[in-house]
Amino acid sequence: MPKFDIAGHRRIFFLISIIFIIPGFICMGVRGFNFGIDFTGGTIMDLRFERPVTLADVRTSLAKYDLDGSTIQLSGTESGVESSENVMIRTVDLEENQRKEVMAALAHDVGPYSVLREEKVGATIGGELITNAVLALVISWALIILYVAYRFEWRFGVSAVLALVHDIIIVLAVFSFTQRQIDSSFIAALLTIVGYSINDTIVIFDRIRENLKLHFRRGGDIEELVNRSIYQTLTRSLYTVFTVLFTTAALYWFGGETTKDFAFALLVGFAVGCYSSIFIASQLWIELRNHTERRPNVPKAKAVPAEA
């Protein structure tokens, strides 16, 4: 049974990506993002309860005010404590009346306490740090292009980085659409996605390079070569992504509330990264190769008849 012609249908895969990317840009422009307290600042409440309490006790009480996504830390003499009298809550910026309602609910639902500290704090990730993070990402992409161009060729490097940009745009679009909270862990998730996706892409590119040297003949079918390379590495790619997705799904479903957005970003990013590695990156390389190796047709000179 013949295999599906992935390279020959590349414009369909490009169209699928555009269907996600264009509405994603519109959504990001209209709805924006739900930035967490790392970006917007918030309120810190350091409390000491009369009896040990658990994270679930505090989070259940905060959920009444849609604050269950707040950062809650238990402090004690031992690490990894399951319950403690000392609790530090970092939540969004609360007005005075909101803060009083939340603290009254904690006293009623969890138990009496004394306030050790209560203050408003600024964003831990300011505009300058965000700019530096974006700059670092752009520099890393430039270095990827240079390194891949040195080991392979420049068209592989450009295709790999375009696929990475594709992955990050879709993850950002999903977070804008779902309005999931973006905090410092989201930046870590993006960097993890970039590392995973480029690794999977390079495996396919390496096989394309080997097949170019061993099996390709001048004027041969480049699409057939790319199809062969993808199918030769497809099993390895699918085994890897499913293993990672199973692990990340377990973290999402069974992890704590504070890790759900991080795990969700990884789930989306790993799935999109696998898609782009198989269906986008090598197809972009074909387009770049076709355009850069195309030569203008030079009209042949007319033969001049020999003099008698």
At residue 114, the 3 state secondary structure works out as: strand
- Look up residue 146 and give its amino acid: L
Tell me the residue length of the chain. 308
| 68 residue type, one letter | D
Residue-wise DSSP of 285-301: HHHHHHHHS--PPPPPP
Instruction: At 100, give phi and psi (nearest 5°).
Output: -65, -40
Contact by Cβ (8 Å): 183, 264: no
Distances in whole angstroms, Cα of residue 224 to Cα of each of 105, 161, 190, 215, 250: 66, 23, 33, 11, 38
Q: What is the pLDDT of residue 9?
A: 92
Amino acid letter, 121: V
Query: What pLDDT sits at residue 34?
Result: 86
Q: Are residues 203 and 236 in contact, defined by beta-carbon separation less than 8 angstroms?
A: yes
Round to whole Å and give the CA distance between 17 and 301: 46
What are the phi and psi torsion angles at 174 (to 5°)? Answer: -65, -40
List Cβ neighbours of 147 (8 Å cut-off, separation of 6 or more): 157
Q: Are strands 71-75 and 83-91 parallel, antiparallel or unpaired?
A: antiparallel
**Using alpha carbons only, what angle is made at residue 276 by residues 275 and 278, rounded to the nearest 5 degrees?**
70
How far apart CA 221 and CA 141 sit, in angstroms, is: 30
Q: Which amino acid is at 221?
A: D
Contact 31, 184 (CB under 8 A): no
pTM for the whole structure: 0.78
Q: What share of the chain is helix, strand, coil (3-state, %, to 5)?
A: 65, 15, 20
pLDDT tens digits, the chain, 308 residues: what are they?
357 889 989 999 999 999 999 999 999 999 998 887 777 778 888 899 989 898 888 998 998 888 877 888 887 545 456 788 889 888 888 888 888 899 999 999 999 999 888 887 776 666 666 777 788 778 888 888 888 888 888 899 899 999 999 999 999 999 999 989 888 788 889 888 988 888 889 999 999 988 888 876 666 788 899 999 999 999 988 998 999 999 999 999 987 777 888 999 999 999 999 999 999 999 999 999 888 876 444 444 444 444 43
103 CB-contact burial (10 Å; exposed 0-12 / middle 13-18 / buried 19+): middle
